[in-house]
Amino acid sequence: MKNSYLKNDKFLTYSSAIVIFFLAWELLALLLQNPALPRPIPALVSFFNVLPEGLWKHFLVSTYRVLTSLLLGLALAVPLGLYIGRNAKLDKWLSPQIYLLYPVPKIALLPVIFAIFNIGDLSKVILIVLIIFFQILIITRDAAKNIPDSTILSVLSLGATSREIYSHVIIPGCLPEIFTAVRISLGTAISVLFFAESFATFEGLGYFIFEAWSRINYPEMFAGIIAISLQGFVLFILVNLLQRVICPWLFK
């Protein structure tokens, strides 16, 4: 009963978000009366025109880069975060290093990354991973730290090994926060990618937008912007669906 109510509600809230987004855009465009901000209808028309002509390819390339970076970032940061979070001694030594490295502007390291990994896809992925790594690491570490000792002790008393403590207690206990980390770093990854795609590539939504901009083709530029929003929107919805499958207890 509660669930079906929620589902209808969800469709309503998501579709009204889209409607409000376009209404606000329309209003702003009407007020500004500037070609740099086209009205949504021409932008949408342009979006559906350029989509089959190659925008879809840029969309896929960007999505591929975002997802690769996200998976790589998770694969590196989650295990480390869980481990540091449950090791007070290690945490004492590593946390200062993390706090030192976290604020370093990774984008400024781009020339270094290019020098090591060349200008291709890999360097874009590495840049994103460097940035989201710390977000995921810190969120996961704190989640692991916050698991009550008494929970772990009660499972230890059942005869669990330390590996079983990870698989039965620490990993599932941190999953909700790991999903938070995924949502946050997804947003970060998309905006960093946009920047990274603005040069040294001929593919991706960032490239598409900057290229349209250089031709002062604002409707096409906004077609690219719509594509990026859509990308984020769809990915966020997918993450939520995935969380429903992986963490069913949160939705009871």
Chain positions contacting other proteins, by CB under 8 A:
148, 150-151, 153-160, 164, 168-169, 172-173, 175, 247, 249, 252
Do residues 72 and 136 lie in contact, with contact meaning Cβ atoms separated by under 8 Å? no
**Closer CB to other proteins, residue 72 or residue 175?**
175
Residue 141 CB, nearest approach to other proteins (Å): 19
Tokens of 113: 């990354």
Going by C-beta distance under 8 Å and a sequence separation of 6 or more, which residues neighbour residue 123? 110, 113, 114, 116, 117, 196
User: In whole angstroms, how close is the CB of 170 to other proteins at the nearest point?
Assistant: 11
Residue 186: CB minimum distance to other proteins, A: 23
**DSSP string covering 114-178:** HHHH-SSHHHHHHHHHHHHHHHHHHHHHHHHHTS-HHHHHHHHTTT--HHHHIIIIIHHHHHHHH
Q: CB-wise, 2 or 215, nearer to other proteins?
A: 2
- Are the beta carbons of 205 and 231 closer than 8 angstroms? yes
Which of 89, 215 has the CB closer to other proteins?
89
Q: How many CA atoms lie within 13 A of 111 on its CB side?
A: 1
C-beta of 60 vs 171, nearer to other proteins = 171
Closest CB to other proteins among residues 4, 33: 4
Closest approach of Cβ 152 to other proteins, in Å?
Answer: 9
Handedness of CA 64, 110, 233, 59 (dihedral sign): negative
Q: How far apart are CA 211 and CA 139, in angstroms?
A: 37
Q: To the nearest whole angstrom, how small is the minimum distance from the Cβ of residue 89 to other proteins?
A: 11
Nearer to other proteins, 16 or 167 (CB): 167
* Minimum CB–partner distance for residue 188 and other proteins (Å): 27
